[in-house]
Chains A and B, each alone.
Chain A
């Protein structure tokens, strides 16, 4: 098979998989079986298309092939259990003509059911992520494995187990009652943000798949926004992701080393992402979601996006937003970020006092950004020896190699030849 054809089939699959699996799961009332026959259809396409060419309507071809396969499976099951009437019904539904126009909103409902099932709260976070990337992103098991730096066997296991859990818990492939829709969507947004962060935190790494993961997350977010346009938090999350993506080109140097927000060349931020982020943020706020956790984080990111320089950032506004965020989503990490903003607003002494108040917080023990932030403030106060020790401590805790290198470099920069002796002393 030529590379061009392989890419084309991959693209067709990416486009068709969600709708195909969604419509099959509705008619089969079995999510696991739908996913299985859809994969069978993909395998058939990979065998047939290189020989016979890509059909005129590849989506319809996949639907027909998967449906035929499902009918075979159902017929065998019906013969075994003698449920002939049930079979007649299933076959009628399965023979529905492939309708290109979504006149009754069927496609949208199928997709929403698919999102909510793949992101069902009965599933573990890992399982939700893997299943979502597979059925909504059209990613293969090896692609998911590469993206999350785990083995293919692990991903395959997660998917099999997830489908089993959905079957065992008898999760119906149905839209939840209106009252449950909010929490179910929240579960889906959590999955989107998990996927995004996995890509975002690793951008400094050498793995090419990871920025792709951020793009995938944004795409999923936009899908959910098209299905639940009245949900403010989905727009808040999209805004947050747009602002973060806008900094991609400025976030790492040519050697792949991370560049701190304060040092980034803001002319390299992507203005079109920022525009879309601002629009999505405004949309979330108009819908009454100004105090949602994603919307507040997006508002924080917007303060940075709108500042020409780090020093001209609206730190007063940022501290106020962190206070609101701490009310809806209390967390020591929010307090840590607030302390950093406080240092910018009121000076490093104030920030340091706020950081020191977090020293005993068990959830921050082992979190490298706490000593990292201390080091930064100590450096600004001219307490270089303490700053050096803090950066070294942070480096020892950092999980990401690129980040560790940056922290070690900052520690080393505090040691110039004239006071090397003093610093060696400070290490004791």
Chain B
């Protein structure tokens, strides 16, 4: 079973450099623990939302929507993709994330090809996209 652990963050508060280094070190240790456990498939940290373009498809065509970087609310800051034995294990890993007090971790399960019935046919991929 594969899961995404999504690190949702408010616009990052600019903490003291020392704290930041310590936080980065803790995050690195966490990622390494996932790796040692043999569950890590991929990970990434995202740039802040100052580099962010949104498209909307309201009239069937892609149209750029200006995203306001200063707009409050939680945005995706990073992710880990893990493969574990159960939902309980995914949740247990999420609990261990050394996230900051302003952070939220969202746990989402990925669909597997075996989840689709054999008679779905060529629609499988489109169906997966809607999940």
**Residues of A that sit less than 8 Å from B by CB:** 4, 7-8, 10-12, 14-15, 18-19, 100-102, 107-108, 111, 212, 215-216, 218-223, 226-227, 248-249, 253-254, 265, 267-270, 276
B29/A100 in contact, CB under 8 A: yes
- New A-B contacts (19) at CB < 8 Å, excluding given A11-B89, A219-B39: A7-B87, A8-B88, A10-B88, A11-B85, A11-B91, A15-B92, A18-B37, A101-B26, A102-B29, A102-B32, A215-B85, A216-B85, A219-B38, A221-B38, A222-B38, A222-B40, A223-B37, A268-B124, A269-B113
Residue-wise, chain B 102-120 has the 8 Å CB interface mask toward A (1 for contact) of 0000000000111010100
Residue of A nearest to B93 (CB): A15
Q: Name B29's contact: one of A101, A216, A265 (CB within 8 Å).
A: A101
Q: Whole-angstrom distance from the CB of A107 to the nearest CB of chain B? A: 7
- Judged by a CB distance under 8 angstroms, whether B67 is at the interface is no
Q: Whole-angstrom distance from the CB of A387 to the nearest CB of chain B? A: 29
From 45 to 76 in chain B, residues with beta carbon under 8 angstroms from any chain A beta carbon are none
Top 3 nearest A-B pairs (CB, nearest first) are A222-B38, A223-B38, A219-B38
Q: Name A107's contact: one of B36, B40, B91 (CB within 8 Å).
A: B36
Q: Whole-angstrom distance from the CB of B79 to the nearest CB of chain A? A: 15
In the bound complex, residues from chain B placing their C-beta under 8 Å from that of A11 are 85-86, 88-89, 91-92
B38/A14 in contact, CB under 8 A: no
**Residues of B that sit less than 8 Å from A by CB:** 25-26, 29, 32-33, 35-41, 83, 85-89, 91-93, 96, 98, 112-114, 116, 118, 122, 124
In the bound complex, residues from chain B placing their C-beta under 8 Å from that of A253 are 118
A15/B89 in contact, CB under 8 A: yes
A-B interface contact total, Cβ < 8 Å = 81
Q: Name B36's contact: one of A12, A108, A218, A270 (CB within 8 Å).
A: A108
Q: Do A248 and B114 form a contact, CB below 8 Å, given A219-B39, A223-B38?
A: yes
Q: CA–CA, A345 to B18, complex, Å?
A: 64
A8/B92 in contact, CB under 8 A: yes
Q: Whole-angstrom distance from the CB of A264 to the nearest CB of chain B? A: 11
Residue of B nearest to A217 (CB): B38
A101/B86 in contact, CB under 8 A: no
In the bound complex, residues from chain A placing their C-beta under 8 Å from that of B87 are 7
Q: Is the interface of B mostly helix, strand, loop or mixed?
A: helix
Q: Whole-angstrom distance from the CB of A109 to the nearest CB of chain B? A: 11
Residue of A nearest to B25 (CB): A101
Q: CA–CA, A270 to B113, complex, Å?
A: 6
The 15 listed contacts between A and B (C-beta, < 8 Å) are A8-B91, A11-B88, A11-B92, A15-B96, A100-B26, A102-B32, A102-B33, A107-B33, A212-B85, A219-B37, A223-B36, A226-B38, A267-B122, A268-B124, A269-B113
Q: Whole-angstrom distance from the CB of A267 to the nearest CB of chain B? A: 7
Residue of A nearest to B29 (CB): A101
Q: Whole-angstrom distance from the CB of B125 to the nearest CB of chain A? A: 9
Q: Whole-angstrom distance from the CB of A99 to the nearest CB of chain B? A: 10
Q: CA–CA, A227 to B37, complex, Å?
A: 10
A249/B113 in contact, CB under 8 A: yes
In the bound complex, residues from chain A placing their C-beta under 8 Å from that of B92 are 8, 11-12, 15
Q: CA–CA, A4 to B96, complex, Å?
A: 18
Q: Whole-angstrom distance from the CB of B91 to the nearest CB of chain A? A: 7
Q: Do A215 and B25 form a contact, CB below 8 Å, given A221-B38, A226-B38, A276-B41?
A: no
In the bound complex, residues from chain B placing their C-beta under 8 Å from that of A8 are 88, 91-92
Q: CA–CA, A267 to B98, complex, Å?
A: 40
Residue of B nearest to A212 (CB): B85
Residue of A nearest to B1 (CB): A215
Q: CA–CA, A276 to B98, complex, Å?
A: 27
In the bound complex, residues from chain B placing their C-beta under 8 Å from that of A226 are 32, 35-36, 38
Interface centre among B26, B41, B96 (most CB of A within 10 A): B96
Q: CA–CA, A270 to B116, complex, Å?
A: 12
A215/B36 in contact, CB under 8 A: no
Q: Name A227's contact: one of B36, B85, B98 (CB within 8 Å).
A: B36
Interface centre among B25, B33, B93 (most CB of A within 10 A): B33
Q: Name B85's contact: one of A14, A18, A223 (CB within 8 Å).
A: A14
Q: CA–CA, A226 to B40, complex, Å?
A: 10
Q: CA–CA, A19 to B35, complex, Å?
A: 13
In the bound complex, residues from chain B placing their C-beta under 8 Å from that of A269 are 113
In the bound complex, residues from chain A placing their C-beta under 8 Å from that of B39 are 219, 222
